[in-house]
Structure 1
């Protein structure tokens, strides 16, 4: 059984992962989405791979992959992308990406990092004010609009941040090394305590990735 770096409360097993089963209706929630499949792609900053993935540095897009479903493609850094897929889709997603990279004719790589990274979602109208306590970036709409991706320091941890609003409500995906995952979650819960933050359970992979579709 696979486990996230973040401690699970009221856990159950799904697709080989221990996940949280509780559901919160609080205005501000933190959800561990580490079970989502995560593939990092590295290729030239410009070229066939970037065109095929359909997104440049600092932005995100969604795509449908045959046999996998909807994925979120994140332009994480110059020449680096992170592709998030439904839980349990890592092998199929990696195979699809390897075929596409081979067809590009460029020097490129795709590696499954699902178990090596922590991924949480901070969701709700007070998400920006919560992050302001632990991150020095200006997260105003004109600086970091929906669909933005950046790498910054959150609670002194190097973190990939994606603004991925759900049904018009503020939502951020935060992605860091597994070893820092519990610390990041604890710091976000502490920062959001004055706003009544609660932990909520893992949703289905499809719903998680489709919820912020633009």
Structure 2
């Protein structure tokens, strides 16, 4: 009998190669890079930009907020700090809860490293890799607050209240979202992290809110991390 190739597959051989996909539809054409589908659209020069970073490695840690694990992670609730090489970002996302981000493909190594660091503390600790289970995006531009977030979120995101390196959990467009102020080359920028099932909705809501400020979506680059 003839073999039927499912829609979206170039050949039957493609079925043997698993492809990870973001919950957010690619902006324009897409290609597979190291097992992940990526948008290949050119980086926009717009003053207000949004890109999907769901492919980044994500590990959550839960432990006593004043214990040995908390001391090892260093970063307190409400703050976000990059390591010396700027490859990992540790976010104090809640009391006794941390989110650690790293480049694509580093999830297993990141998980193993954190498990080694918390081993032997005697504390009740939960360390879980959630790379494929969460959505992550970056909103960048001078008008990121006034042009987008202020329309969808009631939190004061002024420089004085939430400077670079601030982390908080709130509602954005009625979605529970971690917001991390993570400026890029001194330009105002925010990472927004939510459940996978809400990723596309939140991405679209941000684009809709920033429409009158010329927001544009683009494929992620190394600079976006």
Tell me which residue corresponds to 2:156: 138
> Do 1:39 and 1:82's aligned partners in 2 also have CA atoms closer than 8 Å?
yes
1:81 aligns with 2:118: no
Q: Match of 2:208, SS?
A: helix
Q: CA deviation at 1:107?
A: 1.6
> Do 2:77 and 2:94's aligned partners in 1 also have CA atoms closer than 8 Å?
yes
Measured in 2, the distance between the counterparts of 1:165 and 1:34 equals 18
Q: Match of 2:152, SS?
A: coil
Tell me which residue corresponds to 1:3: 21
Q: CA deviation at 1:196?
A: 0.6
Structure 2 length-normalised TM: 0.88
Q: CA deviation at 1:105?
A: 3.1
Decide which of 44, 48, 56 is 2:76's aligned counterpart.
Answer: 56
Output aligned runs, 1:142-157, within 5 Å: 142-157=160-175
Measured in 2, the distance between the counterparts of 1:208 and 1:61 equals 16
Q: Match of 1:73, SS?
A: strand
> Do 1:101 and 1:109's aligned partners in 2 also have CA atoms closer than 8 Å?
no
Decide which of 38, 54, 58 is 1:38's aligned counterpart.
Answer: 58
Measured in 2, the distance between the counterparts of 1:103 and 1:15 equals 34
> Do 1:63 and 1:72's aligned partners in 2 also have CA atoms closer than 8 Å?
yes
Tell me which residue corresponds to 1:108: 125
Of 168-177 and 45-54, the range deviating more from structure 2: 45-54
Tell me which residue corresponds to 1:167: 185
Q: CA deviation at 1:194?
A: 0.8
> Do 1:54 and 1:61's aligned partners in 2 also have CA atoms closer than 8 Å?
no
> Which whole-Å deviations, capped at 9, do the CAs of 1:144-168 have from their partners, x for residues lacking one?
1110000000000110100111111
Measured in 2, the distance between the counterparts of 1:119 and 1:44 equals 26
Structure 1 length-normalised TM: 0.92
How many equivalent pairs are there? 204
Measured in 2, the distance between the counterparts of 1:157 and 1:163 equals 18
1:201 aligns with 2:208: no
Measured in 2, the distance between the counterparts of 1:50 and 1:200 equals 36
Of 56-65 and 137-146, the range deviating more from structure 2: 56-65
Measured in 1, the distance between the counterparts of 2:113 and 2:187 equals 32
Tell me which residue corresponds to 1:17: 36
Gaps of 5+ in 1: 210-214
> Do 2:25 and 2:200's aligned partners in 1 also have CA atoms closer than 8 Å?
yes
Decide which of 179, 201, 207 is 1:183's aligned counterpart.
Answer: 201
> Do 1:124 and 1:170's aligned partners in 2 also have CA atoms closer than 8 Å?
yes
